[in-house]
Structure 1
Amino acid sequence: MPDDSSADEVLDPPDLTNKSVIKATVLLSELGRHRDGITVTELAQRVGMTRPTAFRLLLSLEQTGFVARNDGKYTLGWEIARLGRLADPHRSIVIRIQDTLDALAERLNETIGYAMVNGETEYDLIAEASGSRMLTVSHRWIGEQHPLHTSATGKLLLAELPAGRIEALFPEELPALTPSTISDRAELLRVLRDIRQRGYATMDNEVEEGLFAVAVGVRDEKGHLIGVLSANGPNERLKSGPLPHIVEHLRQTADTIAHHLTPGPNPP
C-alpha cells in the first residue's frame, strides 16, 4: 500500500520573490546615500554584487528614469523624485512599527515615541503609543521638533556629529526653554560625549518642566542612525524607576524596529 504519511507533511511555500527586483532595490537604497553620485564599481563593492550584475541593473533602471548617470557616476533619477512626491513618507513606516510601539508602551506603561531621522539635524516624530496611566504625555507632539539641544531625540542626533560641527551649528550661549535647559555650548559638548559612551540620551525638564524622556537610536544594518525611540513621562515617576531597565527595553525594541524597517541580506 502507498504511504500516505506524506499527505500530512507541511510543504514549504514556493519562493515567489524576484531576485533581480530585490537587487535593484538594494542598489537604489545605496544610491540614496550618495547624492553626489557613485561609480558602478564602487556601488557594486558597497552592496556586495559583481560589477556586471550591478551595471546591467543600473542600465535598466536608467532607461526607466529611476537612475541617472552623469560623467560615469550614478544617482537617483527623476522617476524616484516623482514617485516620492506622491507617496506618504510616514504611513507605511507607522503601519510596520505601530504594534511594536504599542507593546512597549504596555510593558513600560509610559508614552513611547518614534522619530524618523531625515538628516544630520532633522527628524520627524511620526508615531506614538501610550500606556494605561491616567497621568501621561499626550499625543500633541506628533510632527513637532524641539530645539535639538533640548530634547533626548535631538541630542542623539547631535551625538553623531563631530565637535567641530557642533561648534559650527551652535553659538556659545544656547536658548533655554526652561531653567534646566543646557544653555552653554561647552556643557552640551560634554553631554554629547557622555551620550556616545553610554548609548542613550535623556531630557530632564529641559523642554517642559515636569517632563522626562530617555531615548535610544535605531540603526540600519550598516550602523547608520535611521530613527530614535523614546520613552516619555512625568519627571518624578520616570526618574524614580530603574532607568537601566527602561533603556534595556528601548534597546531591544529598537532592534526589532530596525529589523522591520531595513532590508535583509543581499540575495545570492
Structure 2
Amino acid sequence: MDAVQDEAAGKRARGLDRAFEILDFLRHKRQALKPNEIAAQIGAPRSSVYELVNLLLRNGILEFTGGEGRVYLGRKLYFLGAAYENHFDFTRECEATLEHLADETRETAQFCMLDGNKYTVVRMREGARPFRISTDIGQSVPIPWTASGRLLVAHLSDQEILNFIPPEDFRLPSSEWLEPQTFIAEVRHAEREGFFTFNSIVDSFTHCFAVPVRDDEGHIAGTLCLVTPRDDGLANRDRYLACLKKAAADLNQTPTRQKRA
C-alpha cells in the first residue's frame, strides 16, 4: 500500500514540475503556442502536456489567445503576482528609489534579482537622456553576462557557483568563452568591494554599475543598477557609485522594513 501511495505522490510531483516547466517555457517564449508545439519544444509527451494545459486552463493559470487553440499565461498569474508584491516589500519600495536614481543621474536605473539560475530585471526606470537604454523586464539572462551576477552569487562557495551556473552560460554573446575561474575571481572582488562595474558584455555601448540590496537578515536579495552610455559611465564613475550606495543604504533602512524586522 505504501509503495502505491509513494508512486502516486511521485507522479503528482512530476506533474507539478511539468506544469511549472510549461509556465516557464511560455514566459521565456513570450508568445502563445499550441499544446502540441509546447510538448515538442520541451520534449514532453503530448498526452501529459494536453492534460496539464487543460488543468491550467480550468484554473485560469493559462488562457486561450491568438486562435487555433493557442494558450498563454492567464490573468490569475497577475493576481498572484500582485499578492506577492503586497507581501514582499522590496519591489514596491524600489519604485521610489529607482525614480530618484534616474532623476539624480539621468541614467537608466534597475532593480535586479536571481530567477532560478538566471538574472532578471524586476523593476526599471529610464533616464532623461535622449539616448534610451532599456531592458525587457522579466527576461532571463545568463548570470556571467551581468555586473549584478557577480554580487548575486557571492554568498556561494566557488564550487557551488560552478554547480549553480550552467556551463553553457559562460559562453558570451560574442561567442567568446569566459573562464569560470575568471568569473569567480570577479565575484570575490565584487564581494570585497561591495560593488561591481564593467563595460557591458551584452551591449558594447554601455557601462554597468551594481551594488547589493540586502534583506532583513543581511543576505543579498537583489541589486540596484545603473546602465549608462560607456563614456558617461566612466567619466562619472565615482559619483554614480556614491548615488547607488546611498540609495541601497536608504532602501535597507526604509520604515516598512524596519517595522517588519
1:86 is matched with 80
The Cα offsets for residues 186-238 of structure 1, whole Å up to 9 and x where unpaired, read as 11111111111111122413112112111001012321112210000111221
1:126 aligns with 2:118: no
Structure 1 residues 218 and 252, CA, compared in 2 at 3 Å: closer, same or farther?
same
User: TM-score by structure 2 length?
Assistant: 0.60
2:230 is matched with 235
Question: RCO higher in 1 or 2 (8 Å CA, sep ≥ 6)?
Answer: 1
Write the distance in 2 (CA, Å) between the matches of 1:257 and 1:158. 21
Q: CA deviation at 1:157?
A: 1.0
- AA aligned opposite 2:157: P
Picking from 204, 211, 214, the partner of 1:216 is 211
1:166 is matched with 161
Indicate conservation of the 8 Å contact 2:119/2:143, yes or no.
no
Q: Percent identity?
A: 24
1:144 aligns with 2:139: yes
The Cα offsets for residues 120-148 of structure 1, whole Å up to 9 and x where unpaired, read as x455422111221101312x321122110
The structure richer in helix per residue is 2
Write the distance in 2 (CA, Å) between the matches of 1:263 and 1:250. 19
- AA aligned opposite 1:257: L
- AA aligned opposite 2:110: G
Indicate conservation of the 8 Å contact 1:178/1:209, yes or no.
no
Picking from 105, 109, 115, the partner of 2:112 is 115
Q: CA deviation at 1:245?
A: 1.9
- AA aligned opposite 2:194: G
- AA aligned opposite 2:210: A
SS in 1 for 2:224: strand
For this pair of structures, how many residues does the alignment match?
182
- Long gaps (5+) in structure 1: 1-82
Q: CA deviation at 1:162?
A: 0.9
2:174 is matched with 178
Q: CA deviation at 1:256?
A: 2.0
Q: CA deviation at 1:163?
A: 0.7
2:100 is matched with 103
For the aligned residues, what is the CA RMSD? 3.1
1:246 is matched with 240
Write the distance in 1 (CA, Å) between the matches of 2:101 and 2:168. 38
SS in 1 for 2:202: coil
Q: CA deviation at 1:114?
A: 0.7
Indicate conservation of the 8 Å contact 1:112/1:232, yes or no.
yes
- Structural mapping, 1:8-157, within 5 Å: 86-88=80-82, 89-90=84-85, 93-117=90-114, 121-138=117-134, 140-157=135-152
- Long gaps (5+) in structure 2: 1-76
Picking from 250, 256, 264, the partner of 2:258 is 264
Indicate conservation of the 8 Å contact 2:170/2:179, yes or no.
yes
Write the distance in 2 (CA, Å) between the matches of 1:191 and 1:95. 30
Write the distance in 2 (CA, Å) between the matches of 1:123 and 1:173. 11
- AA aligned opposite 1:132: A
- AA aligned opposite 1:127: R
- AA aligned opposite 1:157: L
The Cα offsets for residues 141-162 of structure 1, whole Å up to 9 and x where unpaired, read as 2112211011012221122211
Structure 1 residues 186 and 129, CA, compared in 2 at 3 Å: closer, same or farther?
same
Q: CA deviation at 1:263?
A: 3.2
Indicate conservation of the 8 Å contact 2:170/2:178, yes or no.
yes
Indicate conservation of the 8 Å contact 1:182/1:206, yes or no.
no
Indicate conservation of the 8 Å contact 2:108/2:226, yes or no.
yes
Indicate conservation of the 8 Å contact 2:144/2:169, yes or no.
no
SS in 2 for 1:152: coil
Q: CA deviation at 1:182?
A: 6.2
Write the distance in 1 (CA, Å) between the matches of 2:168 and 2:80. 42
